[in-house]
Structure 1
Amino acid sequence: MKTEFEHRQAAHCESGVTSNLLWKASGGKITEPLAFGIGAGLFFAHIPLIKINNGPAIAFRTLPGYIFSRTCKSLNIPIVKKRFFSTESAETFLRQQLDKGIAVGCQVGVYYLPYFPKEYRFHFNGHNLVVYGYEEDKYLISDPIMQDATTLGSYELQRVRFAKGALAPNGQIYFPKTNVTITDEQIKQAVKAGIKKNVYNMLSIPGYFAGVAGIAHTGNKIKKWMDKLGLKKAGLYLAQLVRMQEEIGTGGGGFRYIYAAFLQEADAYWPGKGLSEISATFTQAGDMWRTAAVQAAGIFKGRLTTQQDFDKMGDYLIAIASVEKQAFEKLKKIKWD
């Protein structure tokens, strides 16, 4: 059984899945950048009390599932989203949808994905892919960060759908509920809603752990890591930051480039709002994140070992926070009506 579905490679898993699931309904207009921006995918959070792979929880994206849900909500598209208590009921429901010709998104863990390079396999359960058919015991898989479509055996798919640990997917499955047509006016209003949501998330969440305040706070914390944690553990914490930034769903720098592309595409729906000009600032922020990643890599690989090196790393994040704050404040000042 195979649904009508075309695999398209993307930069980020969930925005790629969202775009691919909405591609036909939008006539190819919901690109990956539009899905990412409408879904308010750009984020930052640092929660030291939560540990992932023995390092602090640092996120450069919204929680898994939010991009798809927000994009569909902004476009007035009803969705189905389910989790399961048993592997049997999860597979039964999956096959029922595929038999109806419905391609579905799934949240999975990456550790046991056999087609992932070994260096990218660690315990992270926020990955997304599309299942669009099956042939006997093999499921047809469109993982948007891979160049080509692939397959997973029934047990292999079950294993990643029910991976344990933080963000455990519990067999989560999601897809648009009905066949719909997405109009340009719907996209225009969804773009506005997505920008407003992302502005709030990056500027207005209370506290110091999230948004641009979280980036600056993390920069200041990094300056204290060497004394507080010791060189080895501090280096491992920076390795965690880079892993979440550059290896999981494109991370910090890549997300800023996608958001820049979103604003460029959004400019066609809202001309005269200066979105293309603001886009350049997010490209700058992406470049700065990549520079910071090089500095962090030098520390955890043992090439950079002084307090000045940690200070420089912290200053990079403080500067990034300033640049992103300026960009989001410009977006906040836009008069949409």
Structure 2
Amino acid sequence: MNTDIRTEEFHHVQAAHCENGVTTALLRHHGLDFMTEPLAFGMGSGLFYIQIPFLTINNGPAISFRTMPGAIFARTCKALGVEVSRKKFSSQEKAQLFLDKKISEGVPVGCQVGVFHLTYFPKEYRFHFNAHNLIVYGREGDQYNISDPIMEDVTHLSAQELNRVRFAQGPLAPKGHIYFPERIGAINDDLIRKGIVTGIKRNVRDMLRIPGNFAGVDGIRHTSNHIRKWRDKLGLKKASLYLGQIVRMQEEIGTGGGGFRFLYGAFLEESAAWLQDDRLANLSEDFTRAGDLWRGSAIKMAGVYKGRLTEQKDFEEIADMLVNIREVEKEAFQKLSKLNLGK
């Protein structure tokens, strides 16, 4: 098929994380110029921690530093009264036909994809992770116009390449998942402020009060306890690979251990202006500190993974670092919970 499909002018948004960037760009495209990446992340209650039981990714522990894929977009849109459409497909043909229909209507769409076969990614960043997000906003012949928020500029994928990543196999298989804003009503400052408060309160709940011991701030301690046992239980080689997996999940694929804490600090600073409450700006420093600690732990874990650190005491030190991080994040969210926002 050689017919070009063009949308109205689309503005690429580069972001620290893919779903934040897709959310920001799609909402801005529909006229919500106030939207920023920190605001989307915070209204979507994106900050989280979980070590998912009984699930491995790339033969290592399944750990995420953010909420479930798709939740940031859905929650942010809901807070602003934006109706959204989502679809998954049983076949590549149906998925491509629907995609072509939307972009022919001038509707840029978000797509969930796997990164292993993303041809514009450097090879060292291509591995089996199926919760990446990008925007398709047009087509020229066989080439689809792609706005990937973690890239500096727009790029392209052929129809075959795009179908392949939209139907990647394995955990979190996207199944052609496509999503976009459907209808946007009147949005005023009060609605934005209400969305901010709701996002903060939900994030407090998710980090402090979620049931079980493998999620929220208690999930950080859960992982810490595992790390203390890995060297003896798994052997140095496998234990090192597990720590490398945490670093990858934290720093390389956008689940954002340290980066997301910095981003949440930026959200609180923006929220302080929206709500005219300087207490939020002061609390942003606590999350910046947590981000610094996560980055420090990643450096230590990378030392074990690369074979520079090999002793049990190194695993103990990493575990202790996570215990410290847990205390910092727990205290920060407890402070947030006592602000009585929106009253």
Partner secondary structure for residue 45 of structure 1: strand
**Alpha-carbon displacement from aligned partner over 1:17-66 (angstroms, at most 9, x marks no partner):** 00000114454211000000101111100124101000011111111111
Cross-structure match for 1:38: 43
**Alpha-carbon displacement from aligned partner over 1:297-328 (angstroms, at most 9, x marks no partner):** 00011100111100000011000000000011
> Which runs of 5 or more residues in structure 1 are unaligned?
none
Partner secondary structure for residue 273 of structure 2: coil
Cross-structure match for 1:138: 143
Provide the rounded CA distance (Å) in 1 between the counterparts of 2:130 and 2:174: 7
2, 5, 12: which one aligns with 2:6:
2
Describe the shift of the 1:160–1:18 C-alpha distance in structure 2 as closer, same or farther (beyond 3 A): same
Provide the rounded CA distance (Å) in 2 between the counterparts of 1:236 and 1:48: 18
Provide the rounded CA distance (Å) in 1 between the counterparts of 2:14 and 2:260: 16
Cross-structure match for 1:73: 78
Cross-structure match for 2:295: 290
Cross-structure match for 2:215: 210
Cα contact 2:137–2:147 (8 A) shared by 1? yes
Cross-structure match for 2:91: 86
Cross-structure match for 1:55: 60
Cross-structure match for 2:167: 162
Describe the shift of the 1:48–1:27 C-alpha distance in structure 2 as closer, same or farther (beyond 3 A): closer
* TM-score under structure 1 length normalisation: 0.98
Partner secondary structure for residue 165 of structure 1: coil
Cα contact 1:203–1:325 (8 A) shared by 2? yes
Cα contact 1:26–1:182 (8 A) shared by 2? no
Cα contact 1:139–1:153 (8 A) shared by 2? yes
Provide the rounded CA distance (Å) in 1 between the counterparts of 2:80 and 2:56: 35
Describe the shift of the 1:119–1:192 C-alpha distance in structure 2 as closer, same or farther (beyond 3 A): same
* Counterparts of residues 263-274 of structure 1 (less than 5 Å): 263-272=268-277, 274=279
**Alpha-carbon displacement from aligned partner over 1:163-203 (angstroms, at most 9, x marks no partner):** 00000000000000124443222211110111111111111
Matched, 1:230 2:235: yes
Cα contact 2:81–2:185 (8 A) shared by 1? no
Percent of residue pairs bearing the same amino acid type: 58
* TM-score under structure 2 length normalisation: 0.96
Provide the rounded CA distance (Å) in 1 between the counterparts of 2:140 and 2:335: 51
**Alpha-carbon displacement from aligned partner over 1:184-226 (angstroms, at most 9, x marks no partner):** 2221111011111111111111111001000012112211111
Cα contact 1:26–1:183 (8 A) shared by 2? no
Partner secondary structure for residue 269 of structure 1: helix
Matched, 1:327 2:332: yes
Provide the rounded CA distance (Å) in 1 between the counterparts of 2:187 and 2:95: 30
306, 311, 329: which one aligns with 2:311:
306
Describe the shift of the 1:181–1:146 C-alpha distance in structure 2 as closer, same or farther (beyond 3 A): farther
User: Which letter does structure 2 place at the counterpart of 1:208?
Assistant: N
Cα contact 1:220–1:318 (8 A) shared by 2? no
> Which runs of 5 or more residues in structure 2 are unaligned?
none
* Counterparts of residues 18-33 of structure 1 (less than 5 Å): 18-33=23-38
Report the CA distance between 1:116 and its aligned residue: 0.3
> Where has structure 1 moved over 6 Å in runs of 4 or more?
none
Cα contact 2:136–2:147 (8 A) shared by 1? yes
For the aligned residue pairs, the C-alpha RMSD in angstroms reads 1.1
Provide the rounded CA distance (Å) in 2 between the counterparts of 1:181 and 1:297: 48
Cα contact 1:113–1:121 (8 A) shared by 2? yes
Partner secondary structure for residue 82 of structure 2: coil
User: Which letter does structure 2 place at the counterpart of 1:248?
Assistant: I
Report the CA distance between 1:273 and its aligned residue: 5.5
Cα contact 2:224–2:323 (8 A) shared by 1? yes
Cross-structure match for 1:191: 196
